[in-house]
Amino acid sequence: MLSFVFRKLLMLIPTLLGITLVTFTLVHLIPGDPVAIMAGERGISAERHAQVMAELGLDRPLWEQYLSFLGNLAQGDLGHSLISSNPVLDEFLSLFPATLELGFCAMLLAVSLGIPLGVIAGIKRGSIIDHTVMGTSLTGYSMPIFWWGLLLIIFFSGILGWTPVSGRLSSNYWIETPTGFMLIDTLLSGEPGAFTDALRHLILPTIVLATIPLAVIARMTRSSILEVLGEDYIRTARAKGLSPWRIIAIHALRNAMIPVTTVIGLQIGLLFSGAILTETIFSWPGIGKWLIDAVGRRDYPSLQGGILLIALIVMVVNLIVDLLYGLINPRIRNSR
């Protein structure tokens, strides 16, 4: 088991190297440079431009820049943002809790709703419930996330006025943020009403970000349950005279969860790309919005560092999912 984890961790290294190469190349393929963008519309003289480029080390050949990036990386240094000149890692860590909070709520919603809906649709196959769940999830899956977000804002924030339009907390609250998780911080602050305010801010972004994973999980659970219900061991369970509830909740669900776990793991990776759009729509101060801003400003170190860290997180999550398989599926546990 330990050697399995170790081998998997070792395999992360070449993958991460590949990712640095790809992001480095892509980032520098974007037209324009950070100095020209900082200078704005008025522009600066070519001399001054060249001088700043040299100060930032951006005048060196690309391979040299890449090697020095790798060299720093080996020492745990992701570089400094070109815009704020703060260390990239610090900026990432200060913004990450916002994304984590949103992502966690979205996955919680997707899993806690997607699995039961999929199970019900599977059991009641061909019924109105099944068609409704499957039709809705196909719609949710096909809907562009930014458009869906705008629709929700227009309806719930604009017309009904139930939820705030953007941000994490209304400006009339000013609280300390020791953890970075707004739901926890507002509770710790003891400020009356702050927690519900933070919660209200979370609702729409959570729904938007959860929509696609919810749809995928529900569909996967349904087809998985359908397959499992046709298995011989379900007939055996029925032959024992067990209650239908027990047969589904214990005998079918445990086996049906094996492919669903894979899908959930993959969705966590995709969650980050969803977060970029969602955070932009809702002005959510997280990693997604930060990355979009970095693209706009050609903040090369932030982009390279940010993407590398996200890739690392996604790979670790998938490793954890791999290990979780063993808990659900004894056939894998024993073959390791």
Residue closer to another protein (CB basis): 155 or 233: 233
For the CB of residue 217, give the shortest distance to another protein in the complex, in Å.
Answer: 20
- Per-residue b or e along 161-172, where b marks 16 or more CB atoms closer than 10 Å to that residue's CB: eebbeeebbeee
For the CB of residue 243, give the shortest distance to another protein in the complex, in Å.
Answer: 7
313 φ/ψ sector (left φ>0, alpha ψ -120 to 50, else beta): alpha
Residue closer to another protein (CB basis): 235 or 336: 235
Residue closer to another protein (CB basis): 80 or 251: 251
Distance separating alpha carbons of residues 300 and 160, to the nearest angstrom: 42
Residue closer to another protein (CB basis): 256 or 271: 256
Distance separating alpha carbons of residues 195 and 203, to the nearest angstrom: 13
For the CB of residue 256, give the shortest distance to another protein in the complex, in Å.
Answer: 10
Residue 17: partners with Cβ closer than 8 Å, 6 or more residues away: none
Residue closer to another protein (CB basis): 40 or 230: 230
Residue 125: partners with Cβ closer than 8 Å, 6 or more residues away: 226
Torsion over CA: 281, 286, 291, 294 (sign): positive
For the CB of residue 263, give the shortest distance to another protein in the complex, in Å.
Answer: 18
For the CB of residue 300, give the shortest distance to another protein in the complex, in Å.
Answer: 49
Q: Which amino acid is at 187?
A: L
| Footprint on this chain of another protein (rule: CB under 8 A) | 231-233, 235-243, 250-251, 254-255, 328-331, 334
